[in-house]
Amino acid sequence: MVLINAIPDCMRGMIRGCLQALNLQHRVVRHHVCLQGLALPALIYLYGFNYCTNKLLGLWIAKTIVDSGLFLLYYLEMRFANWQEIADEAGKRAALASRDQQSASAWAGNAARSRSPPATMRKSK
C-alpha cells in the first residue's frame, strides 16, 4: 500500500519541480487549491470515516487519488504550455541576471579600490 501511494507522490513532486523551474507554478495553484483544499478533505471523510473500516487505509486511498489527480493536472499543464513564451521569458531572465552580475562585479571592484589607502599613505619598502 505504501508503494502504491509513493509512486504518484514522487511523480507529482518531480513534475512540480519542473513547473517551478519553468516558472509555471502560478498556473497550477487553482488545481492545487481545488484538489488539496476541497477534494482531499471530502475524500478523507468519505473513505476514512464512512467507506473503509480501517481508517488509515481510507486516508491512504484518499491521498493516492488526490496525488494522482495532481500529477495528471500538472502533466497536462506542462504538455499544453506555450513553449515559445517560456523560452522568451527565460531569455529575458538570463539577460537580466547577466546584466545584474556585471553591475555587481563592477561595484565590487570599485568598492575594493576605494578601501585601499591612497598612494601617499602606503608603506614604502
pLDDT tens, 40-68?
Answer: 999 999 988 888 888 888 888 898 899 88
Q: pTM (2 decimals)?
A: 0.65
Task: Grade residue 14 by pLDDT with cuts at 50, 70 and 90.
Answer: confident
Residues 6+ apart with CB under 8 A from 22: 78, 81, 86, 90
> Do residues 15 and 74 touch, judged by C-beta distance below 8 A?
yes
**Cα(47)–Cα(51) distance, rounded to whole angstroms?**
5
State percent of the chain over pLDDT 90: 13
> Do residues 78 and 89 touch, judged by C-beta distance below 8 A?
no
Q: Locate 25 and state its grid cell.
A: 507554478
